[in-house]
């Protein structure tokens, strides 16, 4: 670990891990372990040590890591989430009403599709680096039991990755329903162990609600549809989260809110995104980046993180996930996307 750390320090990496893992903190934390699952600093930083092009490079191997290695996690959380200090506290969950958010693009001129997702961890289980094969199977079984209780618009079927026909899997990924395979950042973080055991996707009949099992987080709850009706998509996701929350005890920290594998997803763990075409702003990349920063929006490629835009379609979403309620996060994204569309129309 010392050698890999030195290579990171000497590298041109711009990761938050490089910025905040000072030698003093490294020396203070390198011998510490978490009491329940015995996780280590190496578990936390291995992805950022292997991938110098990480944006963050840090993951929590279990819930206790956020406290045992707080000297490293707290400054990374504060910077990524634009100012959530170690003395700040996540507000109590408040989903509000999706009907407050009008359709972002009623005429369908810019937005191809809208997606809202959140992550949940099952209380008592660690994250990927400390999960045994039987833990993946137990998490999958708990989730499937809960999924069987879903009714009405959420009713659907669970498809395990084990034994899934390759062509079916490729189509689900190409349709943006299913997670990609082999993300090198997640692999280096220990998230591909025993793959594909315990991994899978639940898809409802209309294919506008899905639940991922054991990709990056234990559970990802997702609603998605063509067009810009953010309020309807948000409502569908919230109803799904609340239904599953009746069957599964989620892991929630008093200060950090809902716990997730990556610190970028803590708090609400909500990422609300649009696949959107903004040709005029795309021709003015500095202006687009300035607006995205101003509206606290993050820009990804068409196939999500670490991908490029295809046919001018970008994935644009809220960056912050902690320090605001769920409703406020959706409002921040809603107002940001509206601002981008207004700027696009002016840029003609």
Residue ranges of the annotated binding site for ATP are: 113-117, 176, 220, 271-275, 300-305
Interface with ligand DAR by CB under 6 A: which residues? 54-57, 185, 216, 262, 264-265, 305
Measure Cα distances from 195 to 39, 232, 305 in Å. Answer: 21, 34, 20
Count H helices and E strands in the chain, helices first. 13, 10
DSSP string of 155-210, one letter each residue: -EEEEESTT--HHHHHHHHHTTSSPPS--HHHHHTT-STTTTTT-EEEEETTSSEE
- Token reading at 296: 């606290």
Whether 320 is a known active-site residue: answer: no
117 is catalytic: yes
* Of residues 84 and 101, the one with the C-beta less far from ligand DAR: 84
**Residue 113 binds ligand ADP (CB under 6 A):** yes
- Which secondary structure element, helix H or strand E, spans residue 49, and what is its range? helix 41-50
Q: Specify the residue, 33 or 303, whose C-beta has the smaller distance to ligand ADP.
A: 303
**Residue 179 to residue 143: CA distance in whole angstroms:** 17
Q: Is 120 one of the annotated active-site residues of the chain?
A: no
Q: For helices 326-346 and 230-245, give the axis angle rounded to 10 degrees.
A: 160
Catalytic (active site) residue 216: yes
**Position among 43, 218, 271, 320 found at the interface with ligand ADP (CB under 6 A):** 271
| Residue found by looking up tokens 């055991």 in the block | 197
Tell me which of 40, 117, 268, 325 is the catalytic residue: 117
The b-or-e profile of 257-285 (16+ CB within 10 A means b, else e) is: bbbbbbbbbbbbbbbbbbbbbbeebeeee
Q: Of 49 and 111, which CB lies nearer to ligand DAR in the complex structure?
A: 49
Number of residues binding to ligand ADP, judged by CB under 6 A: 15
x/- letters, 176..195, toward ligand ADP (CB under 6 A): x-------------------
Stretch touching ligand ADP by CB under 6 A, among 11-19, 75-83, 196-204, 303-311: 303-311
Which residue in 78, 140, 215, 216 is the catalytic one?
216
Q: Is 55 in the site for ligand ADP (CB under 6 A)?
A: no
Q: Which residues are catalytic?
A: 117, 216, 220, 262, 264, 271, 300, 305
Residues binding ligand ADP (CB under 6 A): 113-115, 117, 176, 224, 271, 273-275, 300, 303-305, 315
């Amino acid at each position: 670990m010392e050698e890999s750390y030195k290579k990171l320090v000497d590298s041109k990496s711009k990761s938050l891990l490089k910025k905040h893992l000072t030698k003093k903190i490294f020396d203070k934390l390198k011998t510490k372990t978490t009491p329940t699952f015995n996780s280590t600093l190496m578990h936390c930083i291995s992805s950022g040590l292997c991938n110098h092009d990480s944006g963050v490079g840090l993951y929590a191997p279990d819930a206790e890591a956020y406290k045992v290695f707080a000297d490293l996690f707290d400054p990374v959380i504060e910077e990524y989430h634009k100012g959530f200090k170690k003395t700040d506290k996540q507000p109590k969950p408040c989903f509000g009403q999706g009907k407050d958010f009008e359709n972002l693009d009623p005429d369908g001129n810019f937005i191809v599709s809208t997606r809202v997702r959140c992550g949940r961890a099952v209380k008592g289980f660690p994250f990927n680096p400390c999960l045994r094969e039987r833990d993946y199977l137990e998490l999958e079984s708990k989730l499937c039991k809960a999924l069987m209780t879903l009714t009405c618009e959420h009713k659907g079927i669970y498809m395990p990755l084990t034994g899934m026909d390759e062509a079916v899997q490729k189509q689900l990924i190409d349709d943006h329903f299913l997670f990609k395979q082999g993300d090198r950042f997640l692999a280096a973080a220990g998230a591909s162990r025993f793959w594909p055991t315990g991994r899978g996707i639940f898809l409802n009949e209309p294919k506008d609600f899905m639940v991922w099992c054991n990709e990056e987080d234990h559970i990802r709850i997702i609603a998605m549809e063509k067009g810009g009706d953010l309020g309807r998509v948000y409502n569908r996701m919230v109803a799904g989260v609340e239904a599953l929350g009746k069957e599964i005890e989620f892991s929630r920290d008093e200060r950090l809110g809902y716990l997730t594998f990556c610190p970028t997803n803590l708090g609400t763990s909500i990422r609300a995104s649009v696949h959107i075409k903004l040709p005029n702003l795309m021709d003015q990349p500095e202006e687009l980046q300035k607006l995205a920063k101003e509206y606290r929006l993050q820009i990804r490629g068409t196939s999500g993180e670490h991908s490029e835009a295809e046919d001018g379609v970008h994935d644009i979403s809220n960056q912050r996930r902690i320090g605001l309620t769920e409703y406020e996060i959706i409002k921040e994204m809603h107002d940001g996307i509206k601002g981008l569309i207004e700027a696009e129309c002016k840029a003609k």
